[in-house]
């Protein structure tokens, strides 16, 4: 079967660093995505990893280990506006156009 696991909720303090983990078990792998979703809004694309390693984009970084079926999203210098759900999604194999999403991690940033 296809399965993506993320923590349900996390809390962090403004200015701190937080790491949101995602593990996946899918029939094949052809890329992993992170999206940010504020309450009642559409998901916004953050990052895409297809090779092992770290991708850095400003305050956000995403890491992938294909052998471990593991990724994390690292948020630095947290701001109040970073309070949102963070969705991990996998495209299982190149012959499919279907993206499988996790249930999301709800991040609360406290002052």
| Nearest to another protein of 69, 104 (CB atom) | 104
What value, to the nearest 5°, has the Cα angle with vertex 76 and ends 70 and 82?
90
Restricted to residues 60-79, the positions that interact with another protein (CB under 8 A) are none
Instruction: Find the shortest distance in angstroms from Cβ 68 to another protein.
Output: 21
Task: Identify the residue among 24, 33, 34, 72 touching another protein (CB under 8 A).
Answer: 33
Instruction: Find the shortest distance in angstroms from Cβ 33 to another protein.
Output: 7
Reduced 3-state DSSP string for the chain: CCEEECCCEEEEECCCCEEEEEEEECCCCCCEEEEEECCCCCCEEEEEECCCEEEEECCEEEEEECCCCEEEEEECCCCHHHCEEEEEEECCCCCCCCCEECCCEEEEEEC
| Nearest to another protein of 67, 97 (CB atom) | 97
Task: Identify the residue among 5, 14, 41, 52 touching another protein (CB under 8 A).
Answer: 41
Is 57 near another protein (CB under 8 A)? no
Is 89 near another protein (CB under 8 A)? yes
């Amino acid at each position: 079967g296809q399965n993506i696991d993320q923590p349900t909720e996390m809390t962090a303090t403004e200015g701190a660093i937080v790491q949101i983990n995602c593990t996946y078990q899918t029939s094949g792998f052809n890329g992993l995505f992170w999206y940010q979703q504020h309450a009642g809004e559409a998901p916004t694309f953050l990052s895409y990893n297809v090779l092992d390693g770290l991708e850095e984009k400003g305050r956000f970084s995403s890491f992938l280990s294909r052998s471990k079926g593991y990724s994390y999203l690292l948020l630095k210098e947290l701001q109040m506006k970073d309070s949102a759900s963070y969705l991990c999604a996998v495209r299982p194999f190149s012959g499919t156009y279907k993206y499988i999403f996790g249930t999301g991690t709800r991040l609360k940033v406290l002052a």
